[in-house]
Amino acid sequence: MKIDSFSNKITMEEKIKEESRGLRGSIIESVKDELSGGISDKDQIIIKFHGLYQQDDRDIREYRAKKKLDRLFSFMIRLRIPGGFIKSKQWLSIHQISEINSTGVIKVTSRQTIQLHGLIKSNIKPTIQFFNISKLDSIATCGDINRNVICSTYSRTHYKKILTYASKISKMFLPKTRAYYEIWLDEKKILEKENKEPIYKKSYLPRKFKIAIAIPPNNDVDVFANDIGLIAIIDSDKKKLKGFNISVGGGLSTTHGNSKTYSRLGTIIGFYDSEEKILRIVYEILTIQRDYGNRSDRKFARLKYTIDNYGIEWFKKELENRIGFSLKKERPFFFTERCDYFGWIQDDMKLWNYTIFIENGLVFDRVNLKLKSALLKIAEYEICNFLFTCNQNITLTDIHAKNKKTIQSILDEYGIVNYMNHVSSIRKNSMACVALNTCPLALAEGQRYFPHLISKIEFILNKYKLGKEEIIIRMTGCPNGCSRPYLAEIGFVGVSYGRYNLYLGGDPEGTRLNKLYKKNMDESSILKELDQFFNCFQKEKLDGEKFGNFSIRKQWVI
C-alpha cells in the first residue's frame, strides 16, 4: 500500500462542499440576483449536485467580450433517470419544458438520461417544479456523488429485473439533504441536523462516481468504463438471474499532455448472488472511495487512481473487511457486442418494442425527419413507455399488439421508418459528445460536426464496398471522453478547433481500450488515413473480422 502518495492539502472544491450547509450554499441568493444571468463561483460547484450546470454560448463569447458584454449565461439541466426508463406522460413533460424553457432540443445522453440546454436563471425553478409534478428530478446527476445508474436495455427478458437494481442503487445513494426540495420546491426548512449525510458525510465524494449494470452477451452500457460494473450472470437454461460479477475502477478521462492520467477498464474482483449482499458490496465500494479517494488533486480523484495507488489486493481486502464476508469467485461470461437492436422486436411477454436511431442523442425536427413531433404524437397516445439507451438512442417499449399499428403509422408519417431504412451501419454505430457550443471544456466540435464527417467516411466505405460493416466510431471535443471514444474501434478526441487525435483498435465488445494512432489530425488527413485503412481492410480482412481487431492484427497501433 502506498501511504503517502495523496497529499493532505485539500482542493478548493472540498472546502466549498464542506461549507455548503448540505448543498445549499448561497444558491437562493445567487438565483435571485437580477444583475447577472449567472451565479457565484462557489454556487456553480454546489448547483451541480442539483443536476445543473452554468454554461455560456461559446459561439458568441468572443464577440461579447469585444463588446465588453458579460458572457451569455444559461443553464443545462440533467435528469436522474435510473436505467433510462420513463412513461409517456413524463416524455410529454420533457417535451413541453424543452419548448418553453430550453433551446427546444432534447439531448439523450450517453448515460441514459436527458439534458436540456439554454435555461435562463429565472426559469430553473419553474422547470424543476414542473418536472417534479411528473415525478422527474435532477438530484445528484452531476457533482461529486453517485451519478445516474445505468443498465442494459437490449434484453427484453431481463431488463425489468436489472432496472430494479438500478433504481434501488440510485435511491440508496441519493444525498439525504433536503436542499433540493427547499431551494426549488419551496419545502419548509427543517433542522439542519436532520440532514446529516450518513453515506457522504460533510464533503461528499472526492469525485463523480458511476455505476453500470450489464447483461451479457451485449455490453451496451460499456460496463468497464464505470467505477462499479455489475455484470449479470444469467442461468442459460432457466434464464434466471443468478447474481453479478463485480468490476471496480473503470474510468476513461485523460488530460492532454499529462501522461500520469489514463483510461482504465474495470477489474473484476468476484461474484455475489443475493440482492441484499450485492447492495451491501456496492455501498461499501463507494465508502472506500469516500474514505481513501484523493481529495488534494481532482485529476487523480476517481476510484481508478485510488485502486491503482493502494493496489487491487488491498482494495479487495478492505472491501471484505467492510462487508463482513468474502466475495465468491467470478463466474464465466462473455460479451459479443455493444449495439442497440433497431426497429421492431417482440419480447417474451408478447409486447412490442421499437428502437429508433437518434443521431448523437439529439431530438429535434429536421426537414424530412420530424423526430420530435413524432415522439410527441406517440407519447400523447400513452400506449408505450420510453427507454433511453447508453448509445444515445430511444426505445419505445411495452407496446401491446393492438397498439403497434398506431405507432407504426406515426413512425411512417413522420419519416422515421424511411430514415431508419436508409441510415448507414457506420452512422448507427456512431456517437459524439455535446462539445461546442455549450460545453465549457470543449477544445473542438463534437455532435455538431460528427454527422458531416460520418457522411465523408460513408463515401469511403462505400467506395470499398464496406458500407454494411458495423464499426463503432466515436468523437469527443476533449479528452474527458464523454461519448467513450477510448472504447471505440475508431475514436476521435478533440485537441483544438478542427483537430483530433485518432485512436484505433478498440474491440466490438468494449473489453479493450483503443490506442493512440496519430495526434492532431485535421479532416483531410483523417480521411486520407481512413481511406488507406479501409482499402487494406477490404483486401485483407478475414471472414467476420471486425475493424478494431483488424487494426490490432495489422499492428497499426501497438
Binding positions for ligand SRM, rule: CB under 6 A: 53, 55, 76, 78, 109-111, 113, 115, 141, 147-148, 208, 210, 222, 225, 251-253, 302, 361, 392, 433-434, 438-441, 480-484
What's the rounded Cα separation, in Å, for the pair 524 and 158? 45
Question: What angle is formed at CA 491 by the lines to CA 488 and CA 497, rounded to 5 degrees?
Answer: 155
What's the rounded Cα separation, in Å, for the pair 539 and 527? 18
Residue that is written with C-alpha cell 475508431 in the block:
490
Residue 111 binding target from ligand SRM, ligand SF4, none, CB below 5 to 8 Å by type: ligand SRM
- What is the 3 state secondary structure string of 499-511? EEEEEECCCCCCC
- Provide the pairing of β-strand 430-432 with 394-399: unpaired
CB nearer to ligand SF4: pick between 461 and 478: 478
Residue 478 binding target from ligand SF4, ligand SRM, none, CB below 5 to 8 Å by type: ligand SF4
Residue 17 binding target from ligand SF4, ligand SRM, none, CB below 5 to 8 Å by type: none
CB nearer to ligand SF4: pick between 88 and 483: 483
Across the strands, what pairs with 385? Answer: 87, 397
Residue 476 binding target from ligand SF4, ligand SRM, none, CB below 5 to 8 Å by type: ligand SF4
To ligand SF4, the closest distance from the beta carbon of 441 in angstroms equals: 4
Alpha helices (runs of H) in 173-311, residue ranges in sequence order: 179-185, 275-292, 303-310
Question: Residue 110, interface with ligand SF4 (CB under 6 A)?
Answer: no
The cell for 89 is 406522460
Interface residue with ligand SF4 among 124, 246, 390, 442 (CB under 6 A) is: 442
Cβ atoms of residues 359 and 446 within 8 Å: no
To ligand SF4, the closest distance from the beta carbon of 480 in angstroms equals: 4
**Judged by CB under 6 A, which stretch of 198-206, 343-351, 430-438, 521-529 contacts ligand SF4?**
430-438
CB nearer to ligand SF4: pick between 233 and 443: 443
Interface residue with ligand SF4 among 482, 513, 530, 552 (CB under 6 A) is: 482
Question: 10 Å Cβ neighbour count for 470?
Answer: 15
CB nearer to ligand SRM: pick between 172 and 345: 172
To ligand SF4, the closest distance from the beta carbon of 214 in angstroms equals: 22
Give the catalytic positions in this structure.
78, 147, 208, 210, 433, 439, 478, 482
Applying the rule CB under 6 A, the residues between 48 and 77 that interact with ligand SF4 are: none
To ligand SRM, the closest distance from the beta carbon of 53 in angstroms equals: 5
Q: What's the sign of the alpha-carbon dihedral 555, 544, 489, 534?
A: positive
Interface residue with ligand SF4 among 282, 439, 466, 488 (CB under 6 A) is: 439
Interface residue with ligand SF4 among 92, 172, 279, 441 (CB under 6 A) is: 441
What's the rounded Cα separation, in Å, for the pair 113 and 166? 13
Residue 397 binding target from ligand SRM, ligand SF4, none, CB below 5 to 8 Å by type: none
Binding mask 384-423 for ligand SF4 (x = CB under 6 A): ----------------------------------------
In sequence order, the 6+-apart residues with CB closer than 8 A to the CB of 226 are: 150, 210, 211, 212, 247, 250, 251, 266
CB nearer to ligand SRM: pick between 252 and 327: 252
**Judged by CB under 6 A, which stretch of 87-95, 133-141, 314-322, 472-480 contacts ligand SF4?**
472-480
The cell for 531 is 481511406
Cβ atoms of residues 132 and 185 within 8 Å: yes
What's the rounded Cα separation, in Å, for the pair 247 and 335? 14
Applying the rule CB under 6 A, the residues between 173 and 192 that interact with ligand SF4 are: none
CB nearer to ligand SF4: pick between 426 and 433: 433
Q: Which amino acid is at 411?
A: L
Residue 484 binding target from ligand SF4, ligand SRM, none, CB below 5 to 8 Å by type: ligand SRM
Interface residue with ligand SF4 among 434, 460, 488, 530 (CB under 6 A) is: 434
Residue that is written with C-alpha cell 466490438 in the block:
508
Task: Indicate the helix (H) or strand (E) that contains 492.
Answer: strand 490-496
Interface residue with ligand SF4 among 22, 51, 477, 506 (CB under 6 A) is: 477
What's the rounded Cα separation, in Å, for the pair 54 and 44? 6
- What is the 3 state secondary structure string of 359-420? HHHEECECCCCEHHHHHHHHHHHCCCEEEECCCCCEEEEEECHHHHHHHHHHHHHCCHHHHH
Cβ atoms of residues 391 and 357 within 8 Å: no
The cell for 332 is 464465466
To ligand SRM, the closest distance from the beta carbon of 24 in angstroms equals: 21
Cβ atoms of residues 218 and 338 within 8 Å: yes
Q: H helices then E strands: how many in the chain? A: 18, 20
Question: Residue 106, interface with ligand SF4 (CB under 6 A)?
Answer: no
To ligand SRM, the closest distance from the beta carbon of 390 in angstroms equals: 7
**Judged by CB under 6 A, which stretch of 83-91, 95-103, 191-199, 439-447 contacts ligand SF4?**
439-447
Instruction: Give the CB-side neighbour count of residue 99, counting CA atoms within 13 A.
Output: 9
CB nearer to ligand SF4: pick between 270 and 510: 510
Interface residue with ligand SF4 among 206, 415, 446, 510 (CB under 6 A) is: 446
Question: Residue 478, interface with ligand SF4 (CB under 6 A)?
Answer: yes
Task: Indicate the helix (H) or strand (E) that contains 381.
Answer: helix 371-381
Cis bond before residue 217 (omega within 30° of 0): yes
The cell for 523 is 479532416
Question: What angle is formed at CA 371 by the lines to CA 370 and CA 372, rounded to 5 degrees?
Answer: 100
Q: What's the sign of the alpha-carbon dihedral 117, 120, 122, 126?
A: negative
Question: Residue 435, interface with ligand SF4 (CB under 6 A)?
Answer: yes
Residue 110 binding target from ligand SF4, ligand SRM, none, CB below 5 to 8 Å by type: ligand SRM
What's the rounded Cα separation, in Å, for the pair 36 and 292? 39
CB nearer to ligand SRM: pick between 407 and 433: 433
- Residues of the shown chain interacting with ligand SF4 in the complex, contacts defined by CB under 6 A: 433-435, 439, 441-442, 446, 476-478, 480-482
